[in-house]
């Protein structure tokens, strides 16, 4: 599908505010892809589709999680905010014919991250955090760090998510902790090689 068709497909799935967020993520992902050498077309596509089913009913998402063998069932034990990423990857495959696993994984892991994230996954995940419409304490600092170091910015973003969840006494999805630890470990290994 072409960019305009993808945008039209997502526009019908979400609120006006979420669509504007999607456009911001798209622009930010393309810019980060250019800066760090990721595939710009894949970054744009994954960013457009990252929240494809964000506003689907809890019942519908639960059913897809329960009936899709490769979606981790432990998602159901965690915050529903995580569900749309895994469900979305399956939905865009089914509904829009997206078969590229790199794009699907960037959608799948844009909320939680995962250990050893690909460059494309990092770009889309971070773009979701720092797109121009986001306003939360520390976002400007994150945007500045993103201009210098993708991994450091993403580790900082994931750390912020973890702190947010701890402060609200919510469970933390294990992939988020693994993602942050992986980024920090990679950074330390790179420093030792220098």
pLDDT in tens, 143-164: 999 999 999 999 999 999 999 9
pLDDT bucket at 193, cuts 50 / 70 / 90 = low
Q: Are 171 and 78 in contact, with CB atoms under 8 Å apart?
A: yes
Please return the burial class of 36, using the count of CB atoms within 10 Å of its CB with bins 0-12, 13-18 and 19+. middle
User: Residue 85: CB partners within 8 Å, gap ≥ 6?
Assistant: 50, 107, 108, 109, 110, 111, 112
Total of domains in the chain: 1
Give CA–CA dist 18/26, Å, rounded.
12
| pLDDT tens-digit readout, 11-38 | 999 999 999 999 999 999 999 999 999 9
What does pTM read for this prediction? 0.94
Q: For the chain, give the mean pLDDT.
A: 95
pLDDT at 39: 98
Strand, helix or coil for residue 161: helix
**Is 194 a residue whose pLDDT tops 90?**
no
Strand, helix or coil for residue 86: helix
Supply the range of the domain harboring residue 59: 3-193
Please return the burial class of 171, using the count of CB atoms within 10 Å of its CB with bins 0-12, 13-18 and 19+. exposed
**Is 6 a residue whose pLDDT tops 90?**
yes
* Average confidence (pLDDT) over 53-59: 96
Give the CATH number for residue 107: 1.10.3210.10
* Average confidence (pLDDT) over 108-123: 97
* Average confidence (pLDDT) over 78-86: 95
pLDDT at 1: 80
| pLDDT higher at 188 or 87 | 87
């Amino acid at each position: 599908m072409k960019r305009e068709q993808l945008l039209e497909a997502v526009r019908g799935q979400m609120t006006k505010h979420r669509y504007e967020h999607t456009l911001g993520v798209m622009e930010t992902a393309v810019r980060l892809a250019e800066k760090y050498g990721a595939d710009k077309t894949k970054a744009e596509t994954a960013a457009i589709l990252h929240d494809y089913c964000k506003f689907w009913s809890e019942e519908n998402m639960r059913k897809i999680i329960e009936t899709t063998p490769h979606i981790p069932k432990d998602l159901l034990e965690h915050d529903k905010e995580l569900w749309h990423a895994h469900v979305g990857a399956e939905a865009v495959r089914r509904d829009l014919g997206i078969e590229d696993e790199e794009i699907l994984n960037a959608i799948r892991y844009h909320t939680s991250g995962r250990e050893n994230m690909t460059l494309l996954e990092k770009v889309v995940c971070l773009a979701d955090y720092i797109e121009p419409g986001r306003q939360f304490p520390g976002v400007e600092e994150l945007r500045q760090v993103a201009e210098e170091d993708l991994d450091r910015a993403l580790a900082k973003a994931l750390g912020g998510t973890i702190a947010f969840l701890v402060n609200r006494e919510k469970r933390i999805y294990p992939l988020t902790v693994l993602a942050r630890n992986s980024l920090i470990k990679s950074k330390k290994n790179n420093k030792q090689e220098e």
